[in-house]
């Protein structure tokens, strides 16, 4: 959306990567989600906030002129209100993430979690693809029909807000109520002293866990290649061939990434969940680490040869998305494994904060790096980052029986 409205790739990557910040700092308030109210209550409250924020973004989106957009000179200050609303949405989403992670850990046993984490990671990425694929197709079609890029995105975002509100209403009636999902303060008053003591214990117990530094290195570096790649995938598909890209239209990118990519990702995530529940986490680690890294070669190929064949391009995107869906399962399952214990919700939140940081920092510089070296060398650098994934996987210590159903 931002690049379509004239923002530079460097600024786009920088500011959108900052939206990861709430996930990085969410451990600062995750203990309160664990201590106060139920996880179900937090889930519903945050969904209401996000629905309202999306609607406000749709109504307040700026409308730069066609000349400014064509020149690629849209000032980022024009998007101040939009970025603030996205930040509010990001904070609500991060809080929702804390509650949802704790919610399903209360509702499922270890064996079911192994299978469910594959399904969950698939739908996690489906939501990303919906935003970067399906919505892009809709916006692209509206853009072509109306010739008004900002108006096309306003309508698309409003439709998203309506969909989000409908899902929130459905969850109000459909979400289960596990008996273990309760406030840690019980029926007593939530006095400040008890809250502060519980808050402090969540952090102390986390950093006393066995192999905590190895675990943190894994959380921060396992997804390093993807952190660079995912930020520049859409710009690469959209940029003209003269700029090193593939020159696809907005709606074509939505089809390739949002339809073909979704199908491959779904299969990869489901297969990953089944494999993890059958093999256990330890045995699944290496196949999944390799599936996360090796498909990055497809983008080196695409950047070097810039093919025009849509089937070939779609196949490369599908290979990458399948590998990601399969490989991400091991990562999410390890976070659950490491979080297990008295403060599983808050500790899982800490783990996902490290995950968000691992995506935020590379993403912030990805656009500037690509502008400096071009797409071919950028994707070659991504392949070098794959060695880091291999290194941290070698260091990991896992119970051989964990995750087997």
Q: How confident is the model at residue 52 (pLDDT cuts 50, 70, 90)?
A: very high
Question: Please, which residues have CB within 8 angstroms of residue 210's CB and are 6 or more apart in sequence?
Answer: 397
Radius of gyration of the chain from its Cα atoms, rounded to whole angstroms: 21
Q: What is the pLDDT of residues 90-117, one digit of tens each?
A: 899 889 888 887 777 776 666 666 667 6
Measured CA distances, 301 to 252, 290, 341, 376, 393 (Å): 20, 18, 45, 8, 26
What is the Cβ-side half-sphere exposure of residue 260, based on CA atoms within 13 angstroms? 18
Q: How confident is the model at residue 377 (pLDDT cuts 50, 70, 90)?
A: very high
Residue 247 Rama label (left phi>0; alpha psi -120 to 50; beta):
left
Domain ranges of the chain: 9-176+194-395
Contact at 8 Å (CB) between 119 and 76? no
Predicted pLDDT at 56:
92
Question: Please, which residues have CB within 8 angstroms of residue 192's CB and are 6 or more apart in sequence?
Answer: none
Name the nearest CA neighbour of 47 among 154, 131, 169: 169
Predicted pLDDT at 45:
93
Contact at 8 Å (CB) between 256 and 307? no
* pLDDT higher than threshold 70 for residue 286: yes
Contact at 8 Å (CB) between 292 and 319? no
* pLDDT higher than threshold 90 for residue 47: yes
Predicted pLDDT at 68:
59
Residue 374 Rama label (left phi>0; alpha psi -120 to 50; beta):
left
CA distance 379 to 385: 10
CA distance 193 to 342: 19
Predicted pLDDT at 18:
80
The residue written with tokens 């969940």 in the block is 273
Q: What is the pLDDT of residues 254-283, one digit of tens each?
A: 788 777 887 788 788 888 888 888 888 888
- CATH class, domain 9-176+194-395, is mainly alpha
Predicted pLDDT at 235:
87
Number of CB atoms found within 10 A of residue 216's CB: 18
Measured CA distances, 252 to 74, 113, 237, 241, 303 (Å): 24, 36, 9, 15, 18
Q: Give the per-residue SS3 of 79-140.
A: HHHHHHHHHHHHHHHHHHHHHHHHHHHHHCCHHHHHHHHHHHHHHHHHHHHHHHHHHHHHHH
Entry pTM: 0.70
How many residues does this entry show for the chain? 405
Q: What is the pLDDT of residues 151-197, one digit of tens each?
A: 888 888 899 899 999 999 998 888 877 766 666 555 545 556 666 77
């Amino acid at each position: 959306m931002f690049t379509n409205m004239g923002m530079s790739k460097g600024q786009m990557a920088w500011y959108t990567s900052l939206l990861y910040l709430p996930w990085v700092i969410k451990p600062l308030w995750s203990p309160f989600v664990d201590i106060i109210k139920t996880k179900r209550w937090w889930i519903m409250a945050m969904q209401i906030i996000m629905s309202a924020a999306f609607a406000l973004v749709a109504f307040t989106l700026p409308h730069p002129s066609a000349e400014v957009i064509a020149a690629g000179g849209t000032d980022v200050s024009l998007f101040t209100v939009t970025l603030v609303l996205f930040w509010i949405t990001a904070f609500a989403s991060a809080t929702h993430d804390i509650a949802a992670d704790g919610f399903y850990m209360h509702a499922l046993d270890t064996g079911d979690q192994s299978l469910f984490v594959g399904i969950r990671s698939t739908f996690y990425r489906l939501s990303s693809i919906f935003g970067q694929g399906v919505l892009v197709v809709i916006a692209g079609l509206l853009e072509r029909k109306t010739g008004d890029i900002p108006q096309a995105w306003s309508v698309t975002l409003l439709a998203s807000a309506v969909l989000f509100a409908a899902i929130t209403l459905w969850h109000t009636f459909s979400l289960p109520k596990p008996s273990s999902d309760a406030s840690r303060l019980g029926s007593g008053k939530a006095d400040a002293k008890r809250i502060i003591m519980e808050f402090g214990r969540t952090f102390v117990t986390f950093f006393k866990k066995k192999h905590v530094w190895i675990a943190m290195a894994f959380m921060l570096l396992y997804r390093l290649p993807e952190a660079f790649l995912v930020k520049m995938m859409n710009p690469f598909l959209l940029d003209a061939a003269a700029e090193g890209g593939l020159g696809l239209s907005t709606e074509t990118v939505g089809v390739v990434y949002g339809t073909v990519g979704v199908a491959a990702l779904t299969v990869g995530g489901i297969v990953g969940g089944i494999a993890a529940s059958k093999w256990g986490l330890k045995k699944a680690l290496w196949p999944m680490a390799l599936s996360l890294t090796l498909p990055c070669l497809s983008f080196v190929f695409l950047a070097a040869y810039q093919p025009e064949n849509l089937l070939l391009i779609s196949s490369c995107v599908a290979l990458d998305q399948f590998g990601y869906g399969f490989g991400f399962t091991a990562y999410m399952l390890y976070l659950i494994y490491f979080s297990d214990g008295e403060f599983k919700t808050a500790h899982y939140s800490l783990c996902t904060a490290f995950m968000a940081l691992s995506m935020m920092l590379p993403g912030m510089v990805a656009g500037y790096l690509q502008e400096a070296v071009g797409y071919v060398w950028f994707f070659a650098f991504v392949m070098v980052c794959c060695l880091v994934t291999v290194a941290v996987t070698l260091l990991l210590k896992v119970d051989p029986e964990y995750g087997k159903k």
